[in-house]
Structure 1
Amino acid sequence: MAGLLAELRAGLEAVRPEGLLLELRQPYTGPGTAPFGNLLRSFDCPGDSAANRVRTLDTALLAPGGAVHSDMLMWSPQAPVEAVARQLIGALHAVPQLSVRLDRIPEAHREAVAFWLGRWQAHRGLLLDGEVEPGRPDQLYPLVRACAGDRCLISVHADVVVPLDTAAHRRVELVNGSATDRLTLSVRGGPARIAQVVHRPDGRIIESTSARYGEGPHTLAVPRGGLASLTITEGRR
């Protein structure tokens, strides 16, 4: 198989020496085959945000260093906007691919798509090249952390406690991909004053405040499919 893939890639590069895209689909991805492809993709799971999340993370762990792409994102035009956001959140730690006609979905859906693709673009280096800790595979990765330097993005996909270390990072993005409208935090690293901006699933800001966080449990109201951007303004950082 290695010989066949090497011959195939060499033949394709002879025809197209620059700009060659060679896609390997799950389950044809792994440490042995990853060097022969430069586009790794989740197995077919249209409309299933949980499967997209699990399969892209599985692929990234099996083939580190490759550009992992989600399966095509799809949803009903009648879906609530938080369902649209959830599709995009499920592909947040990969390269998202859309398969909806943007001219045939409601304006609220387009706003959610623009917001979440904008957030992905802004944090692309962190999400794709940062230090990723996907957590519990036996629970379908309910909490995924991507960190680099003083930045950290945590996507939450279940009703779990989210660790927030005020001494480790200055800027933290909390993505609520769960089915609840709040996040439960466990704060450590010392007390800190934090500027927090909370977004709805379509990106609209619903809260912009500054709060004092002490160590211990803390509940933050974030709508499902929404985002909380935290910046530590005073504290150990």
Structure 2
Amino acid sequence: MQLWQPRAVFGTTSARVGDVEIALDGEVTVTRTGDRVWELDAPEASAAQWRVPCVEVSAYWTPRSGARWVPPIWNAPMTSRLTSGSPVASLVGRDGANVCTVALADVAGRTSITGGVMEETGEFAITVQGRGLRIRLDLSDRHFSAALTEVATWWGEQRTPRQARLPAYSTWYSLHQKVDEAGVEGQAALAKELGCDTIIVDDGWQTADRARGYAHCGDWEPNAAAFPDMAAHVERVHGLGVAYLLWYAIPFIGKGSAAFARFEGKFLRYLELMDAAVLDPRHPDVRAYLVGRLARAVEEWKMDGLKIDFVDQFATPGGDPEPTPGADCSDVDEGVLRLMAELDARLPGILVEYRQPYTSAGLWPYGNMIRATDCPLSPQENRQRTVDLRLISGQRAVHSDMIMWHPSEPDEQVAIHLINALFSVPQISVDLQAQRPGQLSVIRFWLGIFREFLDTLQLGTLEPEQPEHGFPLVRTYDGHAMVIARYAPLPVEVPATGWAELLVANAAGDTRVVLYGEAAQTVTSVAYDCRGTRVSEARLSLAPGATLVTVPVGGLLRLRRTEEEI
């Protein structure tokens, strides 16, 4: 099957879907499921290919955050498997209109989606591969975010505990491995006062070593000098009204651990740079050991949940090694799936955090929090990654990467960091005891907005604009409230209906905000600076067209209408 030649034609079957001709290497059944939306079921097929005209195309969206360029035909495939990625892609047109969104039902198997421009014809060719294909093809012209949201629904939804959606404090960037009972409890108390309801204690609790390696992972015993009584410590944190999650680098068995010798011969590989081996989850005793170690945190120490890190490291570059004697399955991803299912059966209903790149819907039943991958001090990257995750994560709580800043960061820039995480659950990770009063005021104000508008921000309809530019404007709405964040000096459209309160968060460097009204309306306007200080209040008449208002950098504009005005 030739996938890289511009005029390649392959397959034994073709199907007409709308105005698109699809070639497959197996028989297919086509079902129309919506307005210009189809499902193709080809259980014996391993590949399909089609082309769409590149007319008014602006971006090619994939779950891998990064440049949204429209790539050439020789672009490398986007691969997906249980432990990495999600099988979905979207070709986006002018003003965010969907051109072609494709998704595969196999969220646990090894699949690929390849997209690229054919120079000879100006068409965009898409090739999908997998073992047995069930394809969702959306050729509607609605906003691309709506097409992606329906993909997440197609994959299956799940219920997420309310606690997973509340702002959190993480020890990783602020304390790194220098964690102990007093430090954690001190940060938890301050974080609670500022608006955080969860603390996530990261690497360092299990070792006295501070070399930032993983040589001491695997035994998962508390560092007795730092945490002499873990259960009592957790009880004190709970007394503050704060939930507690504990970090585990689940695949790693460090060379300095007692478990290293115990499981030697049941490793997938050894990672020299990390001073640790990767356990083989195809072995039942490996899975039982890991489940037992993690369960102890919840059952004995009364943790509320687990931060399960490095699941993607189970995947071995170049393919799975042959299983050693005692394994009960041959596929590593199957072993991972059994591990997560066994852990979930032992600890149902707890908080479980995963992170990019293991975002597959195949793991959804076993985790309810998904975090953007590490991007310290990069607010734009945090914004793009969290919005990307929101688009395909269904009802799971999407968390920002831990938000940090330099101690001398101006208050306005602290607010910009927080606004860039506005459409996710913020995780704060700075030493709260070292913050200036102004910085603390910024945290308190914006976490208050996160909490007050939690349902709108996290469960409302999400519409990010201009994916080709990294989403410089994002809105969400739920029929009662609308929240818009501008990250560049762009005009803000004010709809005539559909909201009682409209918020504009200004993360751009320009304080001049153009409100573009659809109809004449009068509203109450209140502007706040980055610290939550009210700087102006007025009755504002919005005429059809442009109205100029002033919103401080890092500040917020709140527009309200009375019941009579809605």
TM-score tier, shorter chain, comes to over 0.9
Between the aligned partners of 2:349 and 2:563, the Cα distance in structure 1 is 49
* Residue range with higher mean Cα deviation, 71-80 or 10-19: 10-19
- The answer to whether the aligner puts 1:12 opposite 2:343 as a matched pair is yes
- The answer to whether the aligner puts 1:174 opposite 2:504 as a matched pair is yes
Structure 2 residue matching 1:134: 3-state secondary structure: strand
Deviation (angstroms), 1:168: 2.9
Task: Confirm or deny: 8 A CA contact 1:77 1:105 kept in the other structure.
Answer: yes
Deviation (angstroms), 1:28: 1.7
- The answer to whether the aligner puts 1:224 opposite 2:549 as a matched pair is no
- The answer to whether the aligner puts 1:156 opposite 2:486 as a matched pair is yes
Task: Confirm or deny: 8 A CA contact 2:351 2:367 kept in the other structure.
Answer: no
| Cα root mean square deviation, aligned | 1.6
- The answer to whether the aligner puts 1:53 opposite 2:383 as a matched pair is yes
Q: Counterparts of 1:192-203 in structure 2 under 5 Å? A: 192-203=521-532
2:445 to 115, 130, 147: 115
Deviation (angstroms), 1:150: 2.5
* Residue range with higher mean Cα deviation, 11-20 or 93-102: 11-20
Deviation (angstroms), 1:6: 2.9
Deviation (angstroms), 1:219: 1.0
Between the aligned partners of 1:226 and 1:13, the Cα distance in structure 2 is 42
- The answer to whether the aligner puts 1:40 opposite 2:381 as a matched pair is no
Q: Counterparts of 1:65-80 in structure 2 under 5 Å? A: 65-80=395-410
Residue 132 of structure 1 corresponds to 462
Shift of the 30–141 alpha-carbon distance from structure 1 to 2, 3 Å rule, reads farther
Deviation (angstroms), 1:48: 1.0
Between the aligned partners of 1:39 and 1:236, the Cα distance in structure 2 is 38
Higher-RCO chain (CA-CA 8 Å, sequence separation at least 6)? 1
Which letter maps to 2:452? Answer: A
Deviation (angstroms), 1:107: 0.3
Between the aligned partners of 2:471 and 2:365, the Cα distance in structure 1 is 26
Residue 88 of structure 1 corresponds to 418
Shift of the 20–225 alpha-carbon distance from structure 1 to 2, 3 Å rule, reads closer
Between the aligned partners of 1:202 and 1:68, the Cα distance in structure 2 is 25
Deviation (angstroms), 1:35: 3.8
Task: Confirm or deny: 8 A CA contact 1:73 1:98 kept in the other structure.
Answer: yes
| 1:117-151 CA distance string (max 9 Å, x none) | 00000001111101111122111111111101121
Shift of the 37–5 alpha-carbon distance from structure 1 to 2, 3 Å rule, reads farther
Structure 2 residue matching 1:47: 3-state secondary structure: coil
- The answer to whether the aligner puts 1:165 opposite 2:495 as a matched pair is yes
Residue 215 of structure 1 corresponds to 544
- The answer to whether the aligner puts 1:204 opposite 2:553 as a matched pair is no
Q: TM-score, normalised by structure 2?
A: 0.40
Structure 2 residue matching 1:55: 3-state secondary structure: helix
Between the aligned partners of 1:80 and 1:20, the Cα distance in structure 2 is 34
Shift of the 213–234 alpha-carbon distance from structure 1 to 2, 3 Å rule, reads farther
Between the aligned partners of 1:214 and 1:18, the Cα distance in structure 2 is 51
| 1:48-86 CA distance string (max 9 Å, x none) | 111100001111112222111100000112111000001
Deviation (angstroms), 1:37: 2.3
- Sequence identity (%): 34
Q: Counterparts of 1:177-192 in structure 2 under 5 Å? A: 177-188=507-518, 190-192=519-521
| 1:135-192 CA distance string (max 9 Å, x none) | 221111111111011210111111111111133322101110111112112111x211
Which letter maps to 1:230? Answer: L
Structure 2 residue matching 1:95: 3-state secondary structure: coil
Task: Confirm or deny: 8 A CA contact 2:351 2:369 kept in the other structure.
Answer: no
- The answer to whether the aligner puts 1:102 opposite 2:432 as a matched pair is yes
Task: Confirm or deny: 8 A CA contact 1:194 1:234 kept in the other structure.
Answer: no
Between the aligned partners of 2:425 and 2:366, the Cα distance in structure 1 is 19
> Bigger radius of gyration, 1 or 2?
2
Task: Confirm or deny: 8 A CA contact 1:6 1:36 kept in the other structure.
Answer: no
Give the unaligned 5+ runs of structure 2.
1-81, 83-107, 109-333
Between the aligned partners of 2:495 and 2:445, the Cα distance in structure 1 is 27
- The answer to whether the aligner puts 1:62 opposite 2:392 as a matched pair is yes
Deviation (angstroms), 1:235: 7.5
Deviation (angstroms), 1:220: 1.0
Which letter maps to 1:15? Answer: R
Deviation (angstroms), 1:232: 2.3
Between the aligned partners of 1:145 and 1:204, the Cα distance in structure 2 is 24
- The answer to whether the aligner puts 1:28 opposite 2:358 as a matched pair is yes
Between the aligned partners of 1:27 and 1:199, the Cα distance in structure 2 is 37
Deviation (angstroms), 1:236: 5.6
User: How many residues of Structure 1 are paired with residues of Structure 2 in the alignment?
Assistant: 235
Which letter maps to 1:24? Answer: Y
Residue 475 of structure 2 corresponds to 145
Shift of the 76–157 alpha-carbon distance from structure 1 to 2, 3 Å rule, reads same
Task: Confirm or deny: 8 A CA contact 2:488 2:509 kept in the other structure.
Answer: yes
Which letter maps to 1:10? Answer: A
Task: Confirm or deny: 8 A CA contact 1:146 1:154 kept in the other structure.
Answer: yes
Shift of the 10–219 alpha-carbon distance from structure 1 to 2, 3 Å rule, reads same
Q: TM-score, normalised by structure 1?
A: 0.93
